[in-house]
A = this chain, B = another copy of it.
Amino acid sequence: MNGAESVLRTLAASGVEVCFANPGTSEMHLVAAMDRVPEVRGILTLFEGVASAAADGYARLAGKPAATLLHLGPGFGNAFANVHNAYKGRTPMVNLVGDHAVLHRPLGAPLTSDVEAIAGPASHWLRSARDAREAAVLAAEAVAVARSGAVATLVLPADAGWDESLGPAAPLSVGGLPTVPEEAVEAAARALRSGKAALLLGGSTTRERGLAAAARIAAGTGAAVVHDTFTPVLSRGGSRPRARLLPYLTELAVDALAGFEQLIVVGTRPPVGFFAYPGKPSLLWSPDSAVTVLATAEEDALTALEAVADLVGAEPEPVEPLARPELPTGGALDLMTLTAAVGALLPDDAVVVDEAVTASALFQEQTGGAGEHDYLFLTGGAIGWGLPAATGAAVGAPGRPVFNFEADGSAMYTIQALWTQAREELDVTTIVVANRSYAILEFEFSRVGAEGDGAAARALMDIGRPELDFAGLARAQGVPGRRVDDVPGLIDALQEAIAEPGPHLIEALV
């Protein structure tokens, strides 16, 4: 058995079921091994950035890592932005990066580059196999590391794939996350009892288990429950316990955290601005707040949160579902009617992938009254994540409808993801909010104190010349695409997409 097959069999034995691939020549032995190891399903993408975001979306839903298969340094470069998003969200992910054969690499062939340097900033774990014998052992380690919430990157020289190996390595047991010390639990409990308090939840704590513990703490102490602006998955809707979104805008986030004497941080970091702005603070909490970190993202935040709830919590009142917005029946198609229609029609048990950028706040608000659903956020801030993350989410959550709220600017980074949606017949509805601009930049332009309103600057934020035809881009890749410019058309398109399985794209002109 060659090294490639031993690696793939190791992944399979360790529970990896899917590999999002964009292979090249140096990965051909891994590709060949796919037929001998059917436990790992290869899914082809047309660009590495699709593969990495798909693996991110998959793992957030499936709760276990997918593999990616990437081609040397440039392949990792193409994947980088979405590996970064996974890295910041601590999504389990195993990247297999083919490289030149060991003795070929020093020769300076065109595709040679320093893979490890490129992969390092987005990998919690990074190793390079020296030979076929070592490859499977490192693959087992990569999966075990990834399963505890990490991006693991394994560089595989081509000859480590084609040379004879010792066969697959046994799965390694996953060492859980470090337990939070009892003192930190007690400190958080004391803080919650000693003044007006807010819990800031992030990482793993914004799903049902964490939200339930936070609700008990809120019932026992009156603490406010707030969640990170970009948490990996927020379980919400129906009668689930709710948390308030920490706003994206520095000013609004500072307002949201003002007046709390105690800020207890769980599964994330003390909150900082997405960007710095001249004259505005980078730290979002009030200088008058005491900050207590109950658990970082690298610790077992869920167990710690439950321990605090056991100390200070009480049984919460049942949660009343919020009202859904009325289904609009007419009027112009604008952000308000668009998001209201989506909120009115979002199916139960949906998965939402939100990269709507300037439209995100309204989508979040208007879908709050929908049935239970999971809401995925852009954890690393690198756009070009939405379409492929939705692709992977649909693979990771079969049977659940996936909705991707997408901005037109960010959609164009990884538009190739639609092809994989069509190829795999995935149940993804992409709603492109077509405002024909990088609206977030027009907004940020003045916020950072940039001066001037000239044509040259505006041109770098205007994507309306020429007009992009997103419905056409979808159809050209095998995805039914519709452009809608009024409310009845939108509702018809949404109802069609909900009724028909498989991918759909709705381009909403607002």
Residues of A at the B interface (CB closer than 8 Å) are 21, 23-26, 28-29, 31-32, 34-36, 38, 42, 44, 46-47, 49, 73-75, 77-81, 84, 88, 100-101, 103-104, 107-111, 113-114, 117-118, 120-122, 158-159, 162, 230, 269, 272-276, 278, 282-283, 378-382, 384, 409, 412-413, 415-416, 419, 422-423, 440-441, 444-445, 448-452, 454-457, 459-463, 465-473, 475-478
Contacts and interface: CB of A to CB of B under 8 A. Distances in A.
Nearest to A47: B413
A441 B23 contact: yes
A309 B88 CA distance: 58
Given A415-B415, A454-B34, A109 B21 contact: no
B282 A104 contact: yes
B121 A42 contact: no
Given A31-B460, A120-B117, A384-B47, A84 B80 contact: no
Contact of A113 (B84, B101, B273, B461): B84
A380 B78 contact: no
A456 B42 CA distance: 7
Given A104-B272, A478-B467, A449 B23 contact: no
Contacts of A412: 46-47, 416, 419
B275 A100 contact: yes
User: Top 7 closest A-B pairs, CB basis?
Assistant: A77-B80, A35-B454, A466-B478, A472-B476, A74-B382, A110-B381, A104-B276
A258 B368 CA distance: 72
Given A74-B81, A450-B32, A101 B276 contact: yes
B103 A276 contact: yes
A498 to B, nearest CB: 22
B28 A441 contact: yes
A440 B409 CA distance: 32
Most buried by B among A120, A381, A470, A475: A381
Contacts of A159: 276, 278
A144 to B, nearest CB: 25
Contact of A379 (B38, B110, B450, B456): B110
A444 B25 contact: yes
Nearest to A478: B466
